Amino acid sequence: MFWMMAAVFFCSAALTGVARAYALHRGMVDRPNRRSSHTLDTPRGGGIAFVLVYLSVLTGSFFSPIEGVRLTDTFFFALLLGGGLVALVGFIDDHRHLPARLRFSVHLAAAVVAVWVLGAPPVNLASWAPAGDWWMSILFVIALVWLLNLYNFMDGIDAIAGLQGITVLCQGAVILILTPSGLDAAYWLLMLASAIAGFLLWNWPPAKIFMGDAASGFVGFSLGVIALYTANHYPISIWSWLILLGVFAVDATWTLGVRVLRGERWYEAHAKHAYQILARHRQALNDATGMSIEQARAEAHKWVVVRILLINLFWLMPLAWLASVAPSYGLLLTLIAFLPLSLLAWRLGAGRDW
């Protein structure tokens, strides 16, 4: 496993360099504006590199199975068809803006494919554990569409989307490895984490390239597919995955809710997420120390993503493990996990004017 992870990492890192050269050649550059969290022109779309690497590994392993590692048809086709659709529309959008209605339609189709192929997992609420109900399938389609979009919303400062993806995947892999016969699924999680890590070499503050819509949507969608698949086939609760995704889920949902209540055009670009506000506050402190603008920004982004990493490791991970051990308490544990995150979003003024 280690050598395969290393190969995936280096292939992803090398291909990201190619993607950066391509983005510069095609003029795919994000230029700073009042909503930006960067100060220099930066190429975008680099995440397509790890998407291609991961899908290539999946496809190769499907047709030439790896000894001792199981890859089911449902998991493969959910990621290849659904994830491929999401990545394709995102790749086109990275080149030229697509109408929101078209993007949403593709996202909805991908989510329907994934839930239809994988099925809705049981949701344990005390002694009640419904499974297979049509309304649960609809709920998971909506959740999957929201997850892939919120991941795009949360990709607003250097390294945040990549590091979050790696952390959630690795934590989920640890929980699976601790369960009976969970090593197979953990393998595919660690492969995706390795692919994202290769990209993160280029995206670490100060970022040399941004992830782009193709990859951010793919990561969000893949995390949802992984959650559905593992909750259906392994002793890990869907609540565990929701807890692991807590930082992104709470920030994006809280910010959206506040903007809707304020009567704003919630679908328009903005910089009102809690993590963006925190990064600006930290950058202002760095500016006061005499750092250059670019150094102050990079250090602020590092400060924020490291704090998110610590929250994931020392707050969300233990609760996610408990939710897998005692799924009937999953809802309660999720509420406990989300409460301080919600208070932090409120305290920072997420969704409000700044």
- Of the pLDDT bands very low, low, confident and very high (cuts 50, 70, 90), residue 126 is low
Neighbours of 151 (CB within 10 A): 28
Length of the chain: 354
Q: How far is Cα of residue 292 from the mean position of the Cα atoms in its chain? A: 31
Specify the pLDDT at position 136.
84
Nearest 5°: phi and psi at 29? Answer: -130, 135
Higher pLDDT, 130 or 174: 174
Specify the pLDDT at position 198.
98
Specify the pLDDT at position 28.
92
CB 217 within 8 A of CB 86: yes
Specify the pLDDT at position 283.
93
What's the average model confidence in pLDDT over 117-135?
Answer: 69
Per-residue exposure over 272-288, b if at least 16 CB sit within 10 Å of its own CB, e if not:
bbbbbbbbbebbeebee
- Of the pLDDT bands very low, low, confident and very high (cuts 50, 70, 90), residue 354 is low
Nearest by Cα to 305 from 165, 128, 125, 130: 165
Specify the pLDDT at position 37.
65
- Of the pLDDT bands very low, low, confident and very high (cuts 50, 70, 90), residue 35 is low
Task: Flag whether pLDDT at 33 surpasses 60.
Answer: yes
**Angle ∠(150,152,156) on CA atoms, nearest 5:** 110
Nearest 5°: phi and psi at 32? Answer: -60, 140
Task: Flag whether pLDDT at 34 surpasses 90.
Answer: no
CB 330 within 8 A of CB 239: yes
d(CA 181, CA 69) in angstroms, rounded, equals: 11
What's the average model confidence in pLDDT over 83-108?
Answer: 93
Domain spans in the chain, listed from the N-terminal domain onward: 2-348
CB 116 within 8 A of CB 193: no
pLDDT digits (tens, 9 = 90+) for 207-220: 999 999 999 999 99
Neighbours of 295 (CB within 10 A): 16
- CB under 8 A, 24+ apart: contacts of 36-41: 36/271, 37/156, 37/157, 37/158, 37/271, 37/276, 37/279, 37/280, 37/297, 37/301, 38/158, 38/207, 38/297, 39/293, 39/294, 39/297, 40/206, 40/294
- Of the pLDDT bands very low, low, confident and very high (cuts 50, 70, 90), residue 31 is confident
Specify the pLDDT at position 133.
67
- Of the pLDDT bands very low, low, confident and very high (cuts 50, 70, 90), residue 15 is very high
Lowest mean pLDDT among 34-38, 210-214, 350-354: 34-38
pLDDT digits (tens, 9 = 90+) for 96-124: 888 989 999 999 999 999 999 999 887 86
Specify the pLDDT at position 100.
87
What's the average model confidence in pLDDT over 311-330?
Answer: 96
Average pLDDT, the chain: 92
- Of the pLDDT bands very low, low, confident and very high (cuts 50, 70, 90), residue 39 is low
DSSP 63-105: HSPPTT----HHHHHIIIIIIHHHHHHHHHHHHSPPPHHHHHH
pLDDT digits (tens, 9 = 90+) for 141-186: 999 999 999 999 999 999 999 999 999 999 999 999 998 788 889 9
Tell whether pTM > 0.85.
Answer: yes
Lowest mean pLDDT among 34-43, 86-95, 181-190: 34-43
Residue for token digits 């309304």? 135
From residue 27, give the alpha-carbon distance in Å to each of 19, 44, 69, 83. 12, 9, 41, 26
CB 328 within 8 A of CB 127: yes
Lowest mean pLDDT among 60-69, 242-251, 310-319, 334-343: 60-69
pLDDT digits (tens, 9 = 90+) for 228-284: 999 999 989 999 999 999 999 999 999 999 999 988 877 777 889 999 999 999 999
